Chain A
């Protein structure tokens, strides 16, 4: 390493050795990130854990005090918490599986060569890039019982006689918010899988063709195995992201009607914003964090065995 430079200038001996200066420079470069994430992630997480051990309801300051695992005990008895966990599972599984299927189909279509491919690609990826509130409001409007487009279309097609209140019907609300999330998330899988498809060498397909493999066989024996690593990474990322994601449901239904769309992350927001119960909200978010950490460890174990593409 650059020893010539040192030899060329044998001036005063530096205070620190070259190696020590390298290490110091390295830490200096890391200093901003340590401060930024220390103040916005590390300290808040420690604070959240601490808050979860206190009774801390903003409108009842006289009750403030250390209660140990009291909030956690309350959580075990809280039916809405268990319901929210079940709903989270429903929300994540419904959203991610349909996003994956839609994204896969979209990626296969966009991978073909046709006129105007670049334009179609850009347009179909748009739902992914726009703000969550915007997605929520667009769909709230589409679902609006009296002036919304969906009821009107269904009525015109003769598929519906009475107006349906999509977001205030307990059995339809969850499918409705999942449909919205699917619209939003299909482009994510499309982009990821398209990148994966483009990384597969054409020669593989040519060789298979020479061997007489049909379209389906090539898909099954080349496309799917080659995409496996990216499928694992994209799906796991998406599962975690969807589990944590609260914006869509928070804006569209606030977890209602009657907790039908209450997932654990919106339930946490409800405790903080509506009940001003910061202790219990912190408890819920710590539990959310533990679930995510467990999933992340599992994911890291699984991906360790996955060979990288390209």
Chain B
């Protein structure tokens, strides 16, 4: 739609004013809510509850952040560390499990391989609420309530089906011939996987790993169901806890919201290109 010359009127209007107005509206739509909360996180109590509404804080005070980070009742430093640990371990374990499974499904011949793939697809469509009651009683019986393990294992239920499904696609797109020469050199299957297939599939593996991290970071229902102690809460559970407990402190809550958003926003911004290519490849293949 953008070659030189031969533009008709409709194209000139669409490419000029309409494009710019549309982009401005789109950016405002996406960003305005963030800006509102970011501003609120710097406001003092008086500014937050003033009538008429005060839009801009007088100073960039970090008091709300300090309070949220160090609070005894809702310690965001602790929530942050919990989220980081749970999401990182989920990411590493999910990737290890899924690389092996994805490789096996892409390379070995199984009876019922198609059925297995369908099961992975269907599992992605299961409602999370279905798993809550049975998992709660399971973790309870195993004495895993208020542990990181309960959260990490539960996260597999939604990270693993997706990453396996995606990785099978990546591995299948890598020519078998490349591995066969490695196998002939006496590498063994595992050696071939590590030295030939993984480096070639690295962008795809990275994209699915980040997916596992981000979706665990966002997870809420398991986190509130399988933990009861404040010091075991993740950021999502901590934020909800903060709302439920007292009259809502919008200043501290806004600071908490920004703290919870920042890591995934930065990750996404830095890795955007890889991530999007990785995650849309599956849909493009149909």
Contacts and interface: CB of A to CB of B under 8 A. Distances in A.
Contact of B123 (A1, A41, A243, A307): A41
Interface in A1-26: 1-2, 4-5, 22-23, 25-26
Given A30-B104, A130-B218, A246-B129, A112 B240 contact: no
B196 to A, nearest CB: 14
Interface string B14-54: 11000100110011011101101100100000001101110
A285 B33 contact: no
A265 interface: yes
A141 B211 CA distance: 28
B156 A109 contact: no
A201 interface: no
A44 interface: yes
Interface residues of B, number: 98
Nearest to A46: B134
Contact of A289 (B126, B184, B250): B126
A4 B184 contact: yes
B103 interface: yes
Contact of A122 (B11, B108, B250, B269): B269
- By CB atoms of chain A within 10 A, which of B26, B37, B52 has the most? B26
- SS class, residues of chain B in contact with chain A: helix
Interface in A100-133: 105-106, 109-110, 112-114, 118, 120-127, 129-133
B286 A229 contact: yes
A63 interface: no
Contacts of A240: 125
Contacts of A26: 104, 107-110
Interface stretch (B56-64, B65-73, B197-205, B256-264): B256-264
- By CB atoms of chain A within 10 A, which of B51, B52, B129, B280 has the most? B129
A41 B126 contact: yes
Contacts of A152: 52-53
Interface string B82-122: 00000000000000111011011101111000000010011
A254 B160 CA distance: 29
Interface in B123-166: 123, 125-135, 137-138, 153-154, 156-157, 160-161, 164
A230 B284 contact: yes
A147 B53 contact: yes
A157 interface: no
A137 to B, nearest CB: 6
A199 interface: yes
Given A41-B131, A132-B220, A293-B122, A124 B26 contact: yes
Contact of B164 (A33, A113, A139): A33
Given A121-B272, A149-B36, A112 B2 contact: yes
Given A126-B34, A218-B1, A230-B286, 8 more contacts: A29-B108, A45-B131, A129-B264, A130-B265, A142-B33, A229-B286, A230-B283, A244-B129
13 contacts: A2-B184, A29-B100, A51-B134, A125-B276, A130-B260, A138-B257, A229-B286, A251-B220, A265-B129, A268-B129, A269-B129, A272-B133, A292-B127
Please give me the 5 A-B residue pairs with the lowest Cβ-Cβ distance, nearest first: A26-B108, A47-B134, A29-B104, A131-B218, A195-B280
